[in-house]
Amino acid sequence: SSHSGSRGAAASSLQGGTPRALMAPGRHSGAATPGGEERVLAEEGLTATAAARKQAEVQAQTKRPHERDSNDLSTAMETVLEVVFQAEDAVDAVEAIADSAKPIVADPLDADANKKEMDAILAAQDKIKEARKLTEGKIRDAKSYTLSVQKLALSEYSSLRQRLDDAQKKLSPYKTSMKKCSAEVKEVIAARGEGAKGGLEPAIAKLQARLKATKAEASKQKRSAKVGTKHVKGKVGKQKRAQQESRRDKACPRGCRDKPPPIPRPGGAAAPALRAAKQWLSAGAAAAPSAAREPRRAAKRRVNTQSKQSGVPGVTWDGPHKCWRVLWREERRRKGKQFPVLRYVAPGKPHEEAEAEALRAAVAFRKERVRQGNIKVVQARRQSGIKGVNWETSNKAWRVCISVRGKRLQGGNFHPRNNTPEEIERARLEAVECRRRLELARLQVNMREVPDPGQLVERDSSA
């Protein structure tokens, strides 16, 4: 009976509620068993490892699009730059052909030369259209980049678009002249193909009359532009003369400065004239020192340069685009490659280190091009290291020469006493000192400091 009573109590307890061990079979139950604490610590370690792995994956996913977009932008910029350079070279070729071309005369070869100019104009226009189409397409693609790369891409492509606009402005006058003379040139070429002299001469005469009228109109426009400039200069000159007259009037009245008063005669009636003569003489004596002023010195020419230099020819810093640029010519075509600092930026890396890494990559790229023979470097026998100081082999001396407003100023030749390296170095130092004196006397050098983006203050726009 006692066993049955205890069995009934256990059953009633099971029916009335669930034991705590069955309700919470988790951590507390595991901790009560042998080895439960070790299992809890292992579970916490696994949770922390999973969280760290997830955070690393998020950082990698954030960094991966930035690197991918930077690489895509670099590749796209190389392609677009090549096409833009080709368009600019085509426009330069049109200018060269137009400068060397002569008006069409009875010689049929001149008609061929004019046809060559037309072909060059059409080819240049096609190059500009191709470059515009490619640039617009890259701008549309850049809108899908990350925000930082997108800003850099849009600024780069806007500068290339401006260069294409400038090339189009240079080409437009040649297109206008081509449209005016295309009909006459076609007649000349057709008459030349027929071989009929009677058909060739009227076309040539008509074209010569058109060219003469065009030249007359161009000269008229130049004269009108000169007249407008003279009018502006005359207006400024009148204002300056008026200012000088006002300053002189303050020192001496206009009535006594125009002509000297009459010589006074003896008598009481000559007293006013005598006072006027004294006033005129005193005013002239006061104005004498101002007339003997020192001659006016010529204004110095301003030369702007930037503080960030690579130290390697052909490797320059592009401030607006925040990149090092390598430029060279290959088969009479300008080529270039950019090394944006943004490509070398990484989390935790200082901006100065990323910029130095971009410079090292640009210098290494140029050295590799020089080694391959794509860039030809011509070095003199002796170099001074200073612009404007050059070694002349024929005179065996260092020559100093600078250019100011299109005029070359000679500083002289500095000869060494003999051919020893010490004497050559002494003469070089004298030439450099002469160059420095000329620069201080004639030039005003403004050093433009390049801002350091690493020192910029970052602000949260959402705050």
- 193 and 225 share one domain: yes
- 354 and 392 share one domain: no
Q: Is 390 helix (H, G, I), strand (E, B) or coil?
A: strand
Q: Residue 52: which pLDDT band, with cuts at 50, 70 and 90?
A: confident
- 64 and 208 share one domain: yes
Please check whether residue 443 lies inside any domain of the structure. Answer: yes
CATH of the domain at 93: 1.20.58
Q: Kindly report the CA angle at 451 between 448 and 456, in degrees rounded to 5? A: 160
Please check whether residue 362 lies inside any domain of the structure. Answer: yes
Of 320, 347, 376, at which residue does a domain stop?
Answer: 376
| Residue 399 dihedral angles phi and psi, to the nearest 5° | -110, 135
Rg (C-alpha) for the chain, rounded Å, is: 42
Please check whether residue 3 lies inside any domain of the structure. Answer: no
**pLDDT recorded at residue 456:** 46
- 64 and 213 share one domain: yes
Residues 6+ apart with CB under 8 A from 121: 94, 171, 174, 175, 178
Q: Residue 108: which pLDDT band, with cuts at 50, 70 and 90?
A: very low
**pLDDT recorded at residue 299:** 57
Q: Residue 335: which pLDDT band, with cuts at 50, 70 and 90?
A: confident
- 118 and 70 share one domain: yes
Residues 6+ apart with CB under 8 A from 386: 432, 435
> Total domain count for the chain?
3
Please check whether residue 15 lies inside any domain of the structure. Answer: no
| Residue 347 dihedral angles phi and psi, to the nearest 5° | -60, 130
Of 333, 356, 376, at which residue does a domain stop?
Answer: 376
Out of 13-22, 175-184, 187-196, least confident range: 13-22
Domain that holds residue 399: 379-449
Helix (H) or strand (E) holding 92: helix 36-100
- 65 and 123 share one domain: yes
Q: Which long-range contacts (C-beta less than 8 Å, at least 24 apart) are formed by 289-295?
A: 290/251
**pLDDT recorded at residue 280:** 58
CATH of the domain at 315: 1.20.5
- 184 and 318 share one domain: no
- 305 and 428 share one domain: no
- 200 and 313 share one domain: no
**pLDDT recorded at residue 10:** 44
Of 320, 345, 376, at which residue does a domain stop?
Answer: 376
- 115 and 225 share one domain: yes
Higher-scoring residue by pLDDT: 207, 165: 165
